Structures are given as C-alpha cells and as structure tokens.
Amino acid sequence: MSSKCIFIKVSGQVQQVGFRQAVFKMAQQMNLEGWVKNKANGDVDIFACGDKNNLQELLDFSCQGPEGAEVESAEFKWYKYRDEGKGKVFEIR
C-alpha cells in the first residue's frame, strides 16, 4: 500500500449542498484520516491521508462534488505521508 496525503481546495457553489458530508462519508468508507471544512470565502478545504488510490478517488469526486454542487475549480497538492500516531480519524471541522 502506498500512503500519501493530499490537500484539496474546492471552489464554486460547494457550501450548503452536502459537500462536506459527502466527503466525510467517502473518507470514512475508504479508511482515510484528515478533515474537511468550509471556509469563510465559500470554498471547501480537504486534507486527507491514506492509500494513494483512495486519495485519487477522493480528488476525482471533489472535482465534481455531490448532486447540487457546482465545482468551478479544485486545486490540490500531494504530500509525503507522516504517521503521527493519531489513528484513522476523519472529521468535519
């Protein structure tokens, strides 16, 4: 298994459409750790760590979003995985 981390900034009509909840559910199903949160400017930020294939699937989903979302852009950056011993927890912030 190849573990990585990814930060994704999603812009567009991505708040009040169930975006965070959809990301949270997906991340839990894929055993990812990290967080998703709304930003004051209307963006949604995601930071997730885990299997690189699962992270790619999360990125692909984030580029489209759930039904009702209108994603204008999804900027992302990959990071080396760091096991900080916090356990496999993904949360909505």
Domain residue spans in the chain? 3-81
**pLDDT at 84 > cutoff 70:** no
Residue type, position 8, single letter? I
Q: Is 38 a catalytic residue?
A: yes
31, 38, 41, 53: the catalytic one is 38
Distance CA 38, CA 84 (A): 24
pLDDT at residue 29, rounded to an integer = 95
φ, ψ (nearest 5 deg) of residue 80: -70, 140
Could you tell me which residues are beta bridge partners of residue 10? 44, 74
Work out the average pLDDT over 10-34. 95
Q: What is the CATH code of the structural domain delimited by 3-81?
A: 3.30.70.100
Annotated active-site residue 54? The verdict is: no
The larger pLDDT score, comparing residue 89 to residue 59, is at 59
